[in-house]
Structure 1
């Protein structure tokens, strides 16, 4: 008899068919008020759960008494309570490696767009406001040869630093719980405390996971340490930043600009003050949003669930202490 699995996000047909071949599948394209009861009913019988984007707190997963494994189609795990899942011995599988380069590309694009005011100047052309050669009031700043501060030197942080150092001759500062010897040896990266990084970096790129320790890690005090020409990039999670304080820093020119792919509330409301700031480049959480990468993520998530429900969690398990 096939194991019962609940899918709560639309995925490519090829991967959907793989799930159907292996499991008795209940499908939901997201969770909403209209399908919530049906979803909870299916979850009560499920041994496996796969999807992304929707929060899955303990209050929901308590109803899944037969649950043996979860596979999230993402690298981030903040939609889940890992301690709760670990206490139940339920592995949470994720997709940490397949989106590294694509996300690093996105973050570097944000660096370039903010430095050279690409969105602001593009809008000027589109709106017919380009009437003569631009003057200093529209000049950007160089990226080449500047100093990049990476907060969170994991896989994506290293990939970003590699692009910056080898492609743009940038000096690399980083703040991380542990030393990244590869970054130091191959890229000349310098590990510093956070205050030093903020004081000495022209670009500050945040790539830490969202935890109790990192929530609102960046607020008024941190922006005031940065120099006035510094550019802030958030490719982590919106709640790592106190958004109101960031808005104040941009409005008051405490820092030069910000490039943001994530926000405290997503989707970002159209009436957010961020939407009215020329010195903010805003993306709709697109870090991994390429056709190739999203296909790889879906395939990896399906691979992960099949393996986990067959007792193999050696690869891509977020609660690693469950691995024997």
Structure 2
């Protein structure tokens, strides 16, 4: 490969992925701080970098790419890449990659953990036990929502949405889904019911799980009007991207019992601000964006990111390039 090419890794990741890149002849620089590098530091590091291994917190836009003359490839350790300016990268001939597939089932598991925790008041109960508030068994205490025989509404039947829906079958749930692309194959295989509009799903579902990408069209897809359509016993789960759900509207819906509860793995902004009123609600479970956080899955994500970078410079097919047209130009 000639002279060692610099790879800047914006956070500490699985050491196996770092060693893989080093063994492949790269000069790997890792940002060792727990917090992401500042914009100034990121720009400085990119000036002589041939590749970046990034997280969703790192904004890779035209300004950065214009100041990175040697940059050839950026690998995001995530499925989503709303932190990427893909059109600008494509114009500049910079390949961009993500990590689909390897975190699908792990994220679906976490989605279900949130669904069950919010639906059955698990976190509220745990808090009360620790605070000494649990005095006796209460016939009318900690009453949640039954999951079995209920209706699960899935917004976005991509890889993760599909795995969430499949898990619902084990609870004898009716699966109702919306997607811009109808999956008749999944309807025939699993008995899912398709809705051509979001509103029908919101009105009929007892549990609503959000799995759409974050785009201009899906920004605040769920707001005051949408919450008003939902059942009063509805539980909303968002393990996709925080800004898909309007947080102010969510707070009002939960506070006023327009819906029964919510489980969030993502927020707007991230991390959630400590004065955010959502933190004052017992019927809102909030996790720190841990959908993919299992030992095995985070290893696979790091390794796939490294493999994308290595493949590019070895003139081999990148496993998961999001703008493959640059590879043939």
- Separation in 2, partners of 1:259, 1:31: 26
Alignment match of 1:191 (pick from 166, 189, 194):
194
Residue aligned with 1:65, SS? coil
Length-normalised TM-score, structure 2: 0.93
Q: Aligned pairs, how many?
A: 321
Change (3 A) 1:248 1:191: same
The answer to whether the 8 Å contact 2:202/2:226 transfers is yes
- Partner SS, residue 129 of structure 2: helix
State the match for 1:309 in structure 2.
Answer: 313
Aligned partners of 1:98, 1:175: CA distance in 2, in Å? 24
Query: Any stretches of 5+ residues in structure 1 without a counterpart?
Result: none
Q: Which runs of 5 or more residues in structure 2 are unaligned?
A: none
The CA distance in 1 between the partners of 2:240 and 2:14, in whole Å, is: 26
Name 1:11's counterpart in structure 2. Answer: 13
The partner residue of 1:154 within 144, 155, 158 is 158
Name the residue aligned to 1:258.
Answer: 262
The match for 1:20 among 22, 25, 33 is 22
Q: Give the TM-score, by structure 1 length.
A: 0.94
Listed one character per residue, the Cα deviations across residues 189-241 of structure 1 (whole Å, up to 9, x for unaligned) are: 11101111111100111011111111111100010011111111111101111
Q: In the alignment, what sits opposite 2:51?
A: 48
Moved more, 291-300 or 48-57: 48-57
Distance 1:239 1:101, change over 3 A: same
1:32 alignment partner, one of 27, 31, 37:
37
Which residue of the partner structure matches residue 244 of structure 1? Answer: 248
CA contact (8 A) 2:230 2:259 kept: yes
Give the secondary-structure state (helix, strand or coil) at the position aligned to 1:138. coil
* Aligned twin of 2:219: 215
Say which is worse superposed, 154-163 or 300-309, in terms of deviation: 300-309
Retained in 2: the 8 A contact 1:198–1:222?
yes
Question: Following TM superposition, by how much is the alpha carbon of 1:278 offset from its aligned partner in structure 2, in angstroms?
Answer: 0.6
